[in-house]
Amino acid sequence: MALLILKTWMKMKLLQSIYWNHLFCCNLTVEKVEIDYSSKIIENEYIVMFNGYYKNQARANYINTALNASGVRKWKIIARENPASDYPSDFDVVMLEDTDKLEGLNALNDHPAIKRVTSERMVSRTLKFISPDYVRFGRTSLNLKNQFWQATGRHTSRRLLRAIPRQITSVLQADSLWNMGITGKGIKVAIFDTGLSKTHPHFRKIKERTNWTNEKTFDDGLGHGTFVAGVIASSKECLGFAPDSELHIFRVFTNNQVSYTSWFLDAFNYAILKKINVLNLSIGGPDFKDHPFVDKVWELTANRVIMVSAIGNDGPLYGTLNNPADQMDVIGVGGINFEDQIAKFSSRGMTTWELPQGYGRVKPDIVTYGSAVKGSHIKGGCRTLSGTSVASPVVAGAVTLLASGVLHRGDVINPASMKQALMASARRLPGVNMFEQGHGKLNLMKAYQILNSYKPQASLSPSYIDLSECPYMWPYCTQPIYYGAMPVIMNVTILNGLDVSGKIVNKPQWHPYTPQNGHFLDIAISDSEHLWPWSGWMAVYLSVAPEGATYEGLAHGHITVTVESPPGFGEVEPRQSTVNLPIRAKIIPTPPRHKRILWDQYHNLRYPPGYFPRDNLKIKNDPLDWNGDHIHTNFKDMYQNLRNTGYYVEVLGSPFTCFDASQYGTLLIVDPEEEYFPEEILKLKRDVDGGLSVIVFADWYNVTVMKKVKFYDENTRQWWMPDTGGTNVPALNDLLASWNIQFGDRVFEGHYKLNDHEMYYASGSSIRKFPKDGIVVSQQLNDQGVQILGETETIKYKTPILGLLQTKSTDKSGRIVVYGDSNCIDNSHLELACYWMLDSMLEYTSTSHLPSVFKDNQMLSWEDTAETDHPHRMEGNRLYRYSKVLEKNLGESQVRALPQCPHLIWTHPVPLNVSAPSNLYQSQKLLSLIEEVNLPIHNLDNSIKDASGHDASGEFVEWSWRNKPAESVNKSENFDLSVLFLIFLSVALMYYCIKCYRPKPKKRKLCKRLLNIVQCRRISTV
């Protein structure tokens, strides 16, 4: 009987669901949004950051003292009229006249109360609603003022996936928490966007709207802010996660989609003053060295604001993470579609802050639905949008809902503990690596269970290291480790749920497992001196000990880390948490020398901080080289091809003087922008004489073209011309001069064929000089530099582009191969891949066998080749500002002293006679939980609080966890027996009616048809 009633009830609910979903779809505006960002500096305006918060008069006095004492007279402090202007602040905006600019900046920077001076920026965002079939490529971050590069914003190609009729809240089971009485009540959530109408019908509780722009309105004129707010807190039609949360709307973009850095800084300060709990930020960019912004984000999270930010829409390319989502203290969110596949547009890791000496961190933190998500329309009804700026409010709404359900936990809930719970509860997606999904897909209910039983502690991300687990541990799992190799670096993030500040005590300890050959591993560890705010890092270096040189198999162990933070409220002893990092590594005997390739990472430079241009000049809407130029970012496919071919690739993050050339067959130099130490040039000559081979992939270089692609930089407030081209060709020519090899200064482009291989030469250099006994390949190409300068030319030139040389200084000398363009192995803007050619080059450098494709296309004579000049460094270039090789001395660039080579100190092992489980992921307990906790189910006390302790009605209420711990709520309730009796009576009556009632045949036929429709619709909603 019960089963029959249950089935009948489920069908009725399903039919009702279909009806309402159909109703919602009728009001649904299906659109795809493309969000472009660009920015430019504001002439002569500077942000002066102070070391602390001061009132208006005190700040004015400091600035007045600094500038007037230096003789600067033409300046003024720009008044800021916004809700934060009545409070102390840590910055001012100052206007300096051009004539006094340099003196004024120096005077301000020298004042002891001033932290730094940076430029004021204007940020433009364009929301373009387009059809789902529209495809667009490219990305920029800087306004280029009608120069050669076009500032078309940050975007990437992506398709609109089908919108499922179910609510996003239903998909993630938010309704289960609603049924427990958890609806977001008691949580202040800030939305930094385009504003929101006070009368929008979807929202119950718009607590405060603030306008930080120069327009006199609080309303949303664009629709993006309304959509984001709807995903978080809508109570009608397209439902949000936390409908009873307090919405604090920060309008930071005008209707012309313009904002300023100072607007954000003021708004951030106000969010701290208002004790915001959760903040959603759906903007970002690649500049992780924008100090005022990064510092203010740290300050926000240090004040217990849980910040959620979109990871970026620059996928599927790796190394495209956006700031601030790439910061350790921020919850960085990637996007998936409703088939649980990583969205094509979602940016991928790793972080590139740490290059070239280190290795990037795992990001995003988690992923959730970001394709075809329903949210509130500016005019009512619903629309669907796609992007990580959609996935971000999904997580922000979920975090708001979770926080409202654990108000009784008090200060236990903080930015670290929330992030720990989201990571520990996330469901890992199969077949997806950690740089795409982070810890996995958002699991709302499991996160709630963890938060209810959470004990303050430290945790690690990733929580274990398994160099044999593919595909999740890509790229670590793709190459075993062996004796003599460059150490493998794993950058582990430490999340400190104990307190906002902390430190590692007693140094991390390495415990090899004796039964599982852990003694074959050498481990070195470096870590953050301080953990703040809520986080830090630990770099783990893995190498094979000498006794493991011939071993093949797995080695196990773990690292123990103890984190200490100050005592909590009412505590005497410091808080401590000890966490283990399990390690499993696959070891093989050292491969033969000719199979080992060394990738030069040390001589790659990228944005930020300097302007290093793209290698393909045809891609005008993506001017910056910002993906790291690493084998695991934009050279990912090249790396995988080399591994599939049987080569072993290691990364050199230090000068050429720091590696043993006798261990490697080929040194691979690709797209270098850095200069070379004289000692490096001499050592490379000796190494080649000793048998090392070198492959060089260059790129374009021409001073006139470099001047053409200049732009006005938003950081330095100066016109910037790139200090190198796609490659620093003058530096490369210095490196190759020992063999009489030289690239020219013209830029060539065009399609050609090598035997049956279609090739594309994208913005490359030609070979100007090459030894006569070498082999040179030439092709008919266009002069792209002339085209860029605005001249029309249809002539094709005989262009030497590839050279192969067997050096002969000794009988064991190595070989050198040079090619003038790297775009065919770079994923950034790959048109035609040439991995086959790299394989052929390696066949030549590794075995001395010359592939027939090079013989068949050998240039027989240098006659009629394109004439090129010797390339010179641009006069007045400022490469020294970003170089590890150059420094400025008396107004001129000079070579620094050669740095010492890194020497790792191996951790003293403390062996353990234990064995590791077969699966580190499933066995690893990510968080310690309170045992036998009773989860609150009904009538949770998550009431609204303000500074007076009274709500709007005048009734006294509790403070939330954001301010101070609230009293625990009573979780035990007596269930009314009369309710049980009434339910039982209703069920019995319903069964009696169904059994006795006999519908006519027509109705039975109608019911059968209706049931078929129900079943069909049910299948379509999966």
User: Which residue out of 193, 615, 625, 629 is catalytically annotated?
Assistant: 193
Q: With contact defined as beta carbons under 8 Å apart, do 700 and 746 qualify?
A: no
User: Which residue out of 262, 282, 389, 960 is catalytically annotated?
Assistant: 389
Instruction: Note if the bond before 415 is cis, omega within 30 degrees.
Output: no
Helix ranges (H only) for 303-345 are none
Task: Tell me how crowded residue 878 is: count the other CB atoms within 10 A of its CB.
Answer: 18
Single-letter code of the amino acid located at 292: P
Closest-CA residue to 155 (of 317, 280, 312): 312
Give yes or no: 193 in active site.
Answer: yes
CA-based torsion, 196, 199, 203, 206: positive or negative: positive
Rg (CA), the chain: 31
Which residues are CB-contacts of 693 (< 8 A; sequence separation ≥ 6)? 665, 666, 667, 814, 815, 816, 817, 845, 846
Query: How far is Cα 27 from Cα 238, in angstroms, rounded to an integer?
Result: 10
Query: How far is Cα 801 from Cα 913, in angstroms, rounded to an integer?
Result: 59
| Cα dihedral 398→401→406→410 (10° resolution) | 90
Q: Tokens representing 629?
A: 């130029």
Q: Residue 466: in which H helix or E strand, if any?
A: strand 465-466
Q: With contact defined as beta carbons under 8 Å apart, do 496 and 565 qualify?
A: yes
Query: How far is Cα 343 from Cα 369, in angstroms, rounded to an integer?
Result: 9
Query: What is the three-class DSSP state of 586?
Result: strand
Q: Tokens representing 310?
A: 């979109």
Q: With contact defined as beta carbons under 8 Å apart, do 671 and 695 qualify?
A: no
Give yes or no: 629 in active site.
Answer: no
Q: With contact defined as beta carbons under 8 Å apart, do 665 and 595 qualify?
A: yes
Q: Tokens representing 412?
A: 């236990």
Residue 482 phi/psi, 5° resolution? -155, 160
> Residue for token digits 């006794």?
547
Please report, for residues 642, 753, 819, 832, 893, the alpha-carbon distance to residue 849 in angstroms, rounded to integers and kept in the order given: 18, 22, 18, 25, 43
Give yes or no: 155 in active site.
Answer: no
Query: For residue 36, how far is the Cα from the chain centroid?
Result: 17
Task: Give the number of residues written for the chain.
Answer: 1022
User: Which residue out of 111, 200, 202, 224 is catalytically annotated?
Assistant: 224
Count Cα neighbours of 234 within 13 Å in the Cβ-side half-sphere.
31
Single-letter code of the amino acid located at 210: T
439-467 exposure pattern, b = at least 16 Cβ within 10 A, e = fewer: bbbbbbebbbebbbbbebbbbbbbbbbbb
Residue 238 phi/psi, 5° resolution? -85, 100
Query: How far is Cα 687 from Cα 84, in angstroms, rounded to an integer?
Result: 62
Q: With contact defined as beta carbons under 8 Å apart, do 447 and 935 qualify?
A: no
Q: Tokens representing 236?
A: 């009608």
N- to C-terminal Cα separation, the chain: 28
Query: How far is Cα 702 from Cα 213, in angstroms, rounded to an integer?
Result: 42
Residues involved in catalysis = 193, 224, 389
